[in-house]
């Protein structure tokens, strides 16, 4: 036998390349992590709850990662989402307050949904060239622009997410 035995190999270092905290929601549908971002009042929390309910109703695993503040960490070319520790396991439902919620401590993001705010124009009918992707922490994610107030928004978004997860 030639060469150094495996136990003498240097330990593989886990490199955290970039870490930021953003105003967004994150959830898992199957194994696909989804980031919902948008201004205050754009419906992130309500849409998150609706997507979880819709996905579970179709027999899919669906769970909150975090509400309102999400830590993004680029690690080994993937983007991980984690809840802010002070509010992990809670989600605000407008008109009801902050409610406890089952959550996952982390998820690998597979896509991004940008939500329009109450004062914004509606998203364009077709994505602008180059608008179907967004780069966060150096990781490019498929992107959908949506209006949470639009009829069928959750169904349309779930269909978008479905592309990134083998249900």
Mean per-residue pLDDT over the chain, rounded: 86
What is the C-alpha separation between 142 and 79, in angstroms, rounded? 12
Sign of CA dihedral 46, 43, 32, 121: positive
84 or 94, which is more confident?
84
Distance of alpha carbon 65 from alpha carbon 81, whole angstroms? 7
Q: What is the reported pTM? A: 0.84
pLDDT tier, 127 (very low <50, low <70, confident <90, very high otherwise):
low
Taking the C-alpha atoms of residue 87 and residue 67, their distance in angstroms, rounded to an integer, is 8
44-57 vs 153-162: helix crossing angle, rounded to 10: 70
What would the pLDDT profile of 59-76 be if each residue is shown by its tens digit?
A: 999 999 999 999 999 999
* Residues 163, 127: Cα–Cα separation, whole Å: 17
């Amino acid at each position: 036998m030639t060469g150094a035995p495996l136990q003498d190999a240097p330990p593989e270092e886990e490199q955290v390349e970039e870490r930021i905290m953003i105003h967004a929601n994150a959830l898992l549908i199957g194994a696909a992590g989804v980031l919902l971002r948008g201004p205050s009042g754009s419906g992130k929390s309500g849409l998150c709850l609706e997507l979880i309910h819709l996905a579970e109703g179709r027999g899919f695993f669906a769970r909150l990662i975090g509400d309102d503040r999400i830590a993004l960490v680029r690690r080994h070319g993937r983007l991980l989402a984690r809840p802010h520790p002070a509010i992990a396991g809670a989600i605000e439902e407008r008109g009801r307050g902050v409610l406890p919620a089952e959550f996952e401590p982390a998820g690998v993001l597979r896509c991004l949904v940008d939500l329009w705010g109450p004062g914004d124009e509606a998203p364009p009918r077709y994505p602008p060239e180059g608008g179907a992707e967004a780069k966060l922490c150096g990781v490019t994610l498929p992107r959908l622009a949506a209006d949470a107030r639009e009829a069928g928004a959750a169904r349309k978004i779930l269909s978008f997410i479905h592309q990134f997860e083998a249900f």
